[in-house]
Chain A
Amino acid sequence: MKRKKIDRDLIVLLFTTLVTIASWIGFEVYRTYSKKIVNPEVEKYLQKIDPTLNTEVFSKLEELNP
Chain B
Amino acid sequence: MKLTREEVQRVASLARLRFTSEDEERLSKQLDNILRYMEKLNQLDTSRIEPFTHAANTKTPMREDAITNEPNADALLANAPAQENHFFQVPKIIE
Q: State whether these chains interact.
A: no
Residues of B within 8 A of A (CB): none
